[in-house]
Copies of this chain bind each other. A is one copy, B any other.
Amino acid sequence: MSKEQIYKLSELYDNTTDKNDILNIESKLKKLLKPYKEGSIGIAQINPIAGDIEYNAKKIVKYIVHSQNIGLDLVVFPELCLMGYPIEDTIDRHPIIVEENIKWLKQIAKITTNTTALVGFVEPRKYDKLTGKKYYNSVAVISEGKIQSVIRKSLLPTYSEFNDYRYIQPSPVVGAQSAETLGKFSAKKVQICPKTNIINGRKYGISICEDCWNNKEFFNDTTLYSLDPIEELAKEKPDVFINCSASPTRAKKEQLKHNMLSFISKKYTTPIVYVNQVGAIDNSSFDGSSRVFDKNGKLLARAKSFKEQFLIVNPDKNLGKIYPLTKGLEQSLTETKVYTLEYEPDLERTYKTIIQGIRDYFQKTGFVRAVLGLSGGLDSTVCAVLLADALGCKNVFGISMPSKITSQESKSDAQKLAENLEINFCEASIKEMFETTNNCLQKLFKSIEKKWDSRYEKSFTSDNIQARSRAMFLWGISNEFGKTLPIATSDKSELYMGYATINGDMSGGFAPIADVPKTKLFALARWINKNREIKNAIPQSIIDKKPGAELAIDPKTGKPLIAEDALMPYEFLDEIIWRIENKKEHYFDMLNSKFLYEKKHPISKEQKIEWLDKFYRRMASALYKWSILPPSVIVDSRSINKYDYKQPITSSGINYKGLSNEEIKSKILEIL
């Protein structure tokens, strides 16, 4: 009973800023917590701003004071919480922020009492003679007015969006070293001191993020590092493991994390407290969902997903509430073996990941309002919903920008959507702009073709003028109205195919759905209509119609060109993407196995070859577009986000089919 009261009061605390309320809550909590005091831990799941030390430090101070006021033994913050993770080269080019984070850390330490705090920070390595990188990724153990000891990260993720080894030196030792080593730790002078920390009579084995991701048994002897910091810590038989993390959400990652943490606590019969960052920093969206497993590997507590929260737990005394995980976070990695169009299980996570990505990008860069073109098509429609939900409907302006090709239905769909969402809406025709631009350009082309004979018989120029005129409108609004960002509405399927216009629909200050393939976008639209507070905000006709850019007329039908005719069926396209990303398949792997699409619609081998070739050709020429895409939220297990996937643009000539040994032999013979 008193446990429920603790959780309830803690939720009240999360939702108030009123000083009297807080004092009141704290005095009640303190009393209720008395029986749980020994071994009590506060999980401070915060949303930091990268590089804004003062902002982050103030949050830390707030939660330390709170923990003291309610008499907790320990309060734990996420990895690098003073800096925000990731901070990338900023710490190298702007060393002032490293100095600042040390200053704040030292001052914060001074206010600590007998509640211990674990605070992540960037530790500069200041020696006359330095071997290695200039910084450690560290956690300070602070209490009784000072820094007691320092833990340094050993395993440095340097893959996907992670770049730790770029600026961080891996710690050669695991666990705590004395405070005297701050800034001058040397592997040669490792202290003969316990790796674990004794706090109020309990022994804690503290590690940082990736340090707990290397259990050889769990990962079937296929791991990225040889050292296992948890195994090292376990040798000291700690009472509790603590892991300070900053781990972004990606598809299929969460069950793995859950299983792994459960495995570790069970294997070593030691509870583990895992504290994760929440909020988005540029392209990475962190889900929070901090949690505690008891010594039998059973989930004891879990914080909310995608929300800041202060959660009180005590692994020894069975204190800790399990908040529901956002649906979609629980899929396992092994489920990725077969392609499926059943996106439903991942849609709530997808929605929340993007909402958080948009909201934090705007808030952390100081933008408030978004403006986007509403074409009546699926991409801009889903973007509009996500923006309205992330920023508030009053802060979104949808502009219908019809050309002469735009159908009446598209216009009315756009307007209906705006009404349903209660976002701002107006119409602005691009006809005049198109005509003027096209006239000017046609004249200009006449001059150019006198000198260059490479004019295409059929070009996409007029399609692109339309897309660029619209972007011109949106950027104009951004220039004219304060704190307003235009939105790039390109989706993942079309970006893979380069089916997006430079300075047109792929231009904007943020690209919300750049990591959502088209078939999933349809599912998301249906999910939105079913699950959002206001149901069916998206007109059914938008979901029902075939996507098309409405930039050109199909000479065969006299109607606007359907995207699938220009590309290939989205179901087929999205399965290619899925196979490349998740199974690293290549051309012949795909040619020689059956696609889901083929099971429903038998196609000839020639057709399949045509689509596969088109895919590879178009993907190669899309590399440049990926490199200039605005920031976007990484959602999927793999993405084309430029901080997540790096391929030289000049490597576009890769022979995706490969050569046989015989072919290679004969090519060599030709030279000899």
Contacts and interface: CB of A to CB of B under 8 A. Distances in A.
Interface of A: 49-55, 57-58, 61-62, 65, 84, 86-90, 92-97, 99-100, 103-104, 106-108, 111, 128-133, 158-159, 163, 165-167, 220-226, 280-282, 360-361, 364-366, 368-369, 371, 394, 397, 399, 424, 426, 428-430, 432-433, 436-437, 439-441, 443-445, 447-449, 451-452, 454-456, 459-461, 464-465, 468, 471-473, 475-477, 479-484, 502-503, 507, 509, 580-581, 584, 586-587, 624, 627-631, 638, 642-643, 645-656, 658-659, 661, 664-665, 667-668, 671-672
Most buried by B among A51, A432, A480: A480
A473 B444 contact: yes
A113 to B, nearest CB: 12
A647 B93 contact: yes
A222 B503 CA distance: 46
Contacts of A394: 451
Nearest to A86: B648
A94 B587 CA distance: 10
B104 A664 contact: yes
Nearest to A280: B650
Given A222-B129, A424-B451, A53 B655 contact: yes
A131 B52 contact: no
9 contacts: A50-B648, A53-B655, A94-B654, A100-B655, A107-B661, A130-B222, A365-B652, A433-B433, A444-B476
Contacts of A52: 651, 653-655
Contacts of A648: 50-51, 84, 86-88, 90, 281-282
Number of copies of this protein chain within its complex: 2
Nearest to A284: B648
A368 B128 CA distance: 52
Given A108-B668, A428-B447, A440-B433, A281 B650 contact: yes
Contact of A424 (B50, B94, B426, B452): B452
Contacts of A646: 88-89, 163, 166, 643
A97 B654 contact: yes
B484 A459 contact: no
Most buried by B among A159, A451, A647, A656: A647
Contacts of A483: 454
A475 B464 contact: yes
A62 B655 contact: no
Given A225-B132, A643-B646, A653-B49, A465 B461 contact: no
Contact of A655 (B54, B280, B650): B54
Given A106-B661, A111-B668, A448-B481, 6 more contacts: A95-B584, A281-B648, A397-B451, A430-B440, A448-B477, A456-B481
Contacts of A476: 437, 441, 444-445, 461, 464-465
A55 B654 CA distance: 10
Contact of A107 (B365, B441, B664): B664
Most buried by B among A468, A581, A584, A649: A649
Q: 3 nearest interchain CB pairs? A: A51-B651, A129-B221, A364-B650
A361 B650 CA distance: 6
Contact of A54 (B456, B503, B659): B659
A480 B503 contact: no
Contact of A503 (B55, B507, B671): B507
Contacts of A225: 131-132
Contact of A664 (B84, B103, B502): B103
Contacts of A482: 454-456
A447 to B, nearest CB: 4
A136 to B, nearest CB: 15
A40 to B, nearest CB: 22
Contacts of A627: 630-631
B631 A360 contact: no
A94 B648 CA distance: 13
Contacts of A104: 664
A672 B580 CA distance: 54
A46 to B, nearest CB: 14
A99 B53 CA distance: 47
B481 A647 contact: no
A397 B450 CA distance: 11
Nearest to A486: B502
Contacts of A158: 158, 165-166
A479 B452 contact: no
B481 A475 contact: no
Nearest to A434: B436
Nearest to A631: B649
A382 to B, nearest CB: 22
B222 A103 contact: no
A443 B477 CA distance: 11
Contacts of A106: 661
B447 A659 contact: no
A472 B465 contact: yes
A242 B660 CA distance: 33
Contact of A668 (B61, B224, B448): B61
Contacts of A95: 584, 586
A582 to B, nearest CB: 11
A622 to B, nearest CB: 12
A369 B282 CA distance: 35
Contact of A365 (B100, B159, B647, B650): B650
A157 B166 CA distance: 9
A448 to B, nearest CB: 6
Contacts of A465: 472, 476
Contact of A665 (B84, B107, B131, B454): B107
A580 B89 CA distance: 13
A48 B344 CA distance: 46
Contacts of A436: 432-433, 436-437
A427 B473 CA distance: 25
Contacts of A92: 584
